[in-house]
Amino acid sequence: METSKVINKFQDLLKELNFETISKLDEKDYEKFILEFFVKINRLKFQGLEVSSTLKGIIDKVYYDFSTHFDKSPLYEERIQDIFMELTGFCPPPKFWNTPFEEYMRRKWKIL
């Protein structure tokens, strides 16, 4: 798939991380959300999405926009920081971008 289309789909997925959604999820629903979210990102990875300066720029901008809600909910802040660290690769192993999906979800998120 064309790179710009994959990046556009990625940007659309990031919108799912909005304050109204993430801050209201209980642990069980959050776990389900994380699995579904990373399944979608994993599909995009197979369509050519990879960590690049463009992708990191998009992630930084969205993170900054979302950070305006951090003072409303420490839980939202923690969840967004965890997700965005994974997407940028600034996290301890296993890393999403270079680990088989099922292994990543099992080891990192304790899902699957």
For the stretch 45-78, pLDDT in tens is 999 999 889 999 999 999 999 999 999 999 999 9
Residues 63, 19: Cα–Cα separation, whole Å: 11
Estimate to the nearest angstrom the gap between the alpha carbon of 84 and the chain centroid: 5
Helix (H) or strand (E) holding 6: helix 3-14
pTM over the 0.75 mark = yes
Residues 85, 78: Cα–Cα separation, whole Å: 11
Asked whether the beta carbons of 85 and 78 are under 8 A apart, the reply is: no
